[in-house]
Amino acid sequence: MDISSLSVKKIKQLIDSKNISTVELAGLYLDRIEQLNPQLNAFVTVDKDKTLSQAKQVDQLIAQGHSNALLGVPIAHKDIFCAKGWLTTCGSKMLANFVAPYDAHIIEEFNKSGAIILGKTNMDEFAMGSSNETSYFGLVKNPWDLTKVPGGSSGGSAAAVAARLAPLATATDTGGSIRQPAALCGISGLKPTYGYVSRYGMIAYASSLDQGGLMAPSAEDIAYGLNIMAGHDERDSTSVKREKEDFTAQLHHPIQGLRIGIPEEFFSEGLDSDVAQAVEQAIQELEKLGAVRVPLSLPNTSLSVPVYYVLAPAEASSNLSRFDGVRYGHRTQDYRDLIELYEKTRAEGFGAEVKRRILTGTYVLSRGYYDAYYLQAQRVRRLILQDYLRAFEQCDVILGPSTPTVAFGFNEKTSDPVSMYLSDIFTISVNLAGLPGLSIPVGFGKEHLPVGLQLIGPHFSEAKLLNAAHQYQLHTDWHQHLPAGIAGN
C-alpha cells in the first residue's frame, strides 16, 4: 500500500472496514521512517517496540468491537510534549536523558482516542528558533530541498508530515512555530486560540504565548486531530472552559460571502514577489468560491517582532530557571558549590540561542528596565490586539502570506539573530493577540519551494478557518503535492 497519499479520514475508513490492521499500518509508517528519516532527521526518537505494542493493544480493542475517534491513526509528537516512558528532550542537551514520568494532557487525549505514537520529532532547542538549526540533535532537512531549512521551531513535525512519515503531527507555536514551518514545508498547520489546548505537560517557553496545535497535509486532517486536542483541562490554569466542538461539522459549508480581510501591512516591503504572487492567486481562487476581499490595515504589525522579543525572553528567563541540575536533566560533572553547580550546568546544558534569550529576558525584567521594556511591550501588545479586534468588525477572517520568503538555506540567518527573528513577522502578532492562525500550502515560489498562506480568525473561530481552508483544498491540489524523490514507497 502507498501510504504517502493517506488522509486521516481514509485511514479511519481503512481501519474501520478492517482493510488493514493497526499493527500493519503502524509497521508501514515505521518502515518509511526507517527509510527516509536518516536523510531528514525529522524524528529524534523512534521506538518500534513501543509503537507496535500500542498498536497491538488498539487492534485488540477493535477486535472487541470498540470504536473511537482516531483508533489506529498514527501520529508523531513534537518532542516538547511529555509522553510517559518516552525520551522527551525538547531539542536540548539539558534534557537529552530525560524520560518523561507522566503524559502531557494532549498525549493522554490522543492515546485515549486510539491514536498510535510513531515517535518524537526534532525541534529547535526549547522551541526557540525559526529554522530548526538550534536543536542539540542536529539539523532537520526540508524534504523539498535538502539544502534548505524546514523552518522552526516545529521543523521535525513539519518535515515528517511533508515527507509523509506521519499523517498527522502535534506541534507548538509561540511566535509562528507551527505556521512558519508548515508554510516552508508545504503542509497545513494550525495554531489554535490561546487557551484552547492544554499546556499541561508541554515544556514551557513563553507561557502567555505558547499554544499546542497540529500539522497535517490538509485542513480536514487537522479538524479530526483538533477534535481530540482541544478541550478543557483543569491542570492548566489558562485552559478555557468551552463545550466540546466538532471541527469537522462545518467543513462542508459553502464560503459564499465570506469577508476576507487583506491587511496592507502583510503585502508591503520585505515580502518576496514569488510569495506575493502565489498568495494573490489563492485569493482569486477564494473569490471564485464566493469570498469577498476587504482591504484593511493592521498599523502596528511591524511592532510585533520587538514586542515579542521582550515578552517571550522575559517569560523564558523565568520558565527556564527550573533547569538547575537538581531535579532532572543535565548536571555538570565538577563543581565546588551550589552556585557553580547551577552556572556550569546551565552553561553546558543550554545552547547559544537559549542563553541569548535568557540573558535578554533577565535584562528586560531587571530593576530599572522593567517599566521601560516589559511594561511598554505589554502596552504595545494591547495596541496589536486592538488592531485585530477593529479589523474583525469589517471581516470574518484575515488573510496574508505565512512567511515573507520561501525556505532559506542553512546558516543563512544564524549569525544575525534579528534577521532570523524577522522570518516570523507575519505570525508573531497572532500569538500576541491570542488568535487562531492556520497556514495552508498555496503553490510554489522560486526553486519550486512551497508557499504558505495564513488565515487568521477571531478567538475560537477554528471551525471557520478550517472550513475556508477545506473549501479551498477541495478546489485545488497544492496540499497533495509531494516532494520529488520521496513520492510513493
Partner 1 sequence: MSLTDQEIKHLAKLARIHIEDTELSLLRDQLGKVFQLIDTLQAVDTTGIEPLSHSLALNQPLREDRVTEPNLRDVYQAVAPEVEKGLYIVPKVIE
Q: Nearer to partner 1 by C-beta: 253 or 331?
A: 331
Q: Considering only residues 43-102, where is the footprint of partner 1 by CB under 8 A?
A: 98-99, 101-102
334 near partner 1 (CB under 8 A): no
Q: What is the DSSP track for 105-153?
A: HHHHHHHHHT-EEEEEE--SGGG--SSSTT-TT-PPPBTTBTTB---SS
Alpha-carbon distance of 420 to 392, in angstroms, equals 30
Q: Which residues are catalytic?
A: 78, 153, 177
In angstroms, the CA 93 to CA 346 distance is 10
Those residues with Cβ within 8 angstroms of residue 474's Cβ, 6 or more apart along the chain or in another chain: none
Residue 429-468 contact track with partner 1, rule CB under 8 A, x = bound: ---xxxx-----------------------x---------
Among the listed ranges 45-53, 182-190, 275-283, 370-378, the one in contact with partner 1 (CB under 8 A) is 370-378
Give me the least distance between CB of 461 and partner 1, in Å please.
14
d(CA 252, CA 471): 7
Q: Do residues 187 and 169 touch, judged by C-beta distance below 8 A?
A: no
Among 63, 146, 249, 338, binds partner 1 (CB under 8 A): 338
Which x/- pattern, by CB under 8 A, does the window 378-397 give for partner 1? xxxxxx-x------------
Q: Which stretch binds partner 1 (CB under 8 A): 43-51, 64-72, 114-122, 377-385?
A: 377-385
Q: Which is nearer to partner 1, 4 or 332 (CB)?
A: 332
Options 86, 266, 342, 472; binder of partner 1; rule CB under 8 A:
342
The phi and psi torsions of 260 (rounded to 5 degrees) equal: -105, 115
Helix (H) or strand (E) holding 420: helix 417-421
Among 48, 331, 412, 474, indicate the residue that binds partner 1 (CB under 8 A).
Answer: 331
CA 417, CA 405: separation in Å to the nearest integer? Answer: 17
413, 420 in Cβ contact below 8 A?
yes
- Among 63, 372, 484, 487, interactor with partner 1 by CB under 8 A: 372
Choose between 164 and 199: whose C-beta lies nearer to partner 1.
199
Binding mask 121-160 for partner 1 (x = CB under 8 A): ----------------------------------------
Least distance CB 406 / partner 1 (angstroms) = 24
Among 152, 192, 195, 483, interactor with partner 1 by CB under 8 A? 195
Number of residues that bind partner 1 (CB under 8 A): 71
Reduced to 3 states (helix: H, G, I; strand: E, B; else coil), residue 166 is: coil
Tell which positions 207-246 bind partner 1, by CB under 8 A. Answer: 208, 234, 237-238, 240
Residue 48 exposed, middle or buried by CB count within 10 Å (0-12, 13-18, 19+):
middle
AA letter at 254: P
Query: What residues contact 198, with CB distance under 8 A and at least 6 apart?
Result: 104, 105, 106, 212, 231, 232, 233, 235, 236, 239
Residues 288-317 that bind partner 1 (CB under 8 A): 303, 305-307, 309-310, 317
The alpha carbon torsion through 332, 336, 338, 340 (nearest 10 deg) reads -60
* From 136-144, 189-197, 261-269, 271-279, span contacting partner 1 (CB under 8 A): 189-197
